[in-house]
A and B are shown apart, each in its own frame.
Chain A
Amino acid sequence: MSDTPDAGLPATAPAPFYRHKLATRLWHWVNALSVFVMLMSGLMIFNAHPRLYWGKYGANPDHPWLEVMPGHIRVGPVVLPGFGVFGVSANGRGYAVNPLFTIPSHYDLSGSREWHFAFAWLLVVPGLLYLAWTLIGPHKRDLAPTLDELRPSHILHDIGQHARLRFPTGEAAKRYNILQKLSYAGVIFVLLPGVVATGMTMSPGLNAAWPWLLDLFGGRQSARSIHFICAMGLAAFIIVHVLMVILAGPINEVRSMISGWYRPHPDPVNAAIAEPAE
């Protein structure tokens, strides 16, 4: 039983450990599908009126804070290039969003609405179950940052380590680091509830049932803007998340999200690389 790696010894593969419970794994993949469809069908809906406003109303005669123009996207006073994503021309017509990133992949507002509102159920129902499971069970402790972790110096240190692609190893890899905790909690408690609540605020039917939603977000067009901002936040999360998975070892990471079992990086070797005499 000489499983404990001693410093200085060549690394033996550390024992795999059970990292993700079944609820997390199930929700992760269901959510991956629903968020993917929601983002792509949502971008097609955005195509129909690629302008965002603040307040209760907003239409072409009014002033948008964000608008897509051919080849460009304007955010407030800043005009940015469209980077081939926004303001492109394809199939002989202009698109606010490149059809490569939309469902369906041709202009179809009614079709995209059909996809969006069907997959909304797959986003909301499992999402609520997972939220309840997180809040009731022990999982919330995995996400809750400690006071020590919230020190700015600790967060800055972790950002620095991530930027140098030095990821936690051994024991430290068994729990989420502060950047993971903040981003996962941000997705579960802020972005997803935000995108769902603002989505419901845009429904004229639900406005009659729950008018307080409009007060909460400052009117329908503000809710539409916040809906878009939350969706872009989710898109940004997905890009960084997938990048991190690739950099941290995609096979090990994806396996742990399928079977639950994760194999930490050998501690001593990485420790030697990660911590030069400081």
Chain B
Amino acid sequence: MMMEFSRRTLFAGAGGLVLAGCDKIAASPNVRKLLTLGESATFSAQRLVSDRAALAPEFSLADLSPVFRVNGNGNPGTPDYDAHVAGAFADWRLAVDGLVERPLSLSLAQLRAAPHRTQITRHDCVEGWSAIGQWAGTPLRLLLQQAGLRSSARYIVFHCADLSGGRPYYESVDLIDALHPQTILAWAMNGQTLSVPHGAPLRLRVERQLGYKQAKYVMRVEAVQSLAGLYGGKGGYWEDVADYQWYAGI
């Protein structure tokens, strides 16, 4: 028993030393650089083998997840947002601005009256789980065409109503994904008005990327030239707070 105990302690001690070494290696700037190189190689390779307009797989109604898991914030709960919920989003407006010729301010009724796309797609969380849901919404491309993107615009930023730890949620995509036919601002899910836990009144669907890119509670769409000046500068809430990869195609 004693022997067993001391051997185990020795093992744990040695293991701890090795791990401390590993974590030291992982923290070195050169290793970080090497890993970042791998990340950009993955991004470039994916873009190389994918057609710009290649569609994410779409499914049938029979494939729908029986229960679509709610993840992240389930309710922004700010006084402004609560007032919009109480008023069924009648006074709510989506702003489309930044590097555009004609900034827009659109009501939910205007969005619903515009041409829309319905798609049954798979939502993949970065953690590993997947859920299949049906989404209906306005193609982002239509809104950007209406507003007239300036030639200096490189990224589209989505500003959201929810906060985590006091920081506003936001996300961004490049123009390839922004203009992709399946990229929509969804106002309906599984045939019903988008619910609060799933991002009412409007949620981004960018179907070739992971779940944290699918911003909920979208209030404002902004065209920018660079992500550097926004919030933490890495192009998204999770990118800023926990170093998640900006390109989330894998």
Residues of A participating in the B interface, judged by any CB pair closer than 8 Å: 45-46, 48-49, 51, 56-62, 99-100, 103-106, 109-111, 113-115, 117-121, 202-211, 214, 220-221, 224
Contact = CB atoms under 8 A, between A and B. Distances in A.
B22 interface: yes
B55 interface: yes
Contacts, number: 140
A211 B57 contact: yes
7 contacts: A49-B125, A57-B63, A59-B125, A100-B15, A104-B26, A118-B38, A208-B56
Contacts of B131: 57, 59
Interface residues of B, number: 50
Contacts of A115: 26, 35
Contacts of A56: 59, 63, 122, 130, 132
Contacts of A59: 65, 68-69, 125, 129-131
A52 B19 CA distance: 28
Main secondary structure of the interface of B (DSSP, over half): loop
A104 B22 CA distance: 8
A206 B247 CA distance: 13
A61 B51 contact: no
B122 A57 contact: yes
Given A207-B56, A209-B50, A105 B19 contact: yes
A232 to B, nearest CB: 16
B129 A60 contact: yes
A99 B125 CA distance: 22
Given A118-B35, A209-B54, A109 B209 contact: no
B4 interface: no
A85 to B, nearest CB: 13
Given A110-B238, A117-B250, 7 more contacts: A48-B126, A49-B128, A57-B130, A100-B19, A110-B245, A205-B249, A209-B50
B23 A105 contact: yes
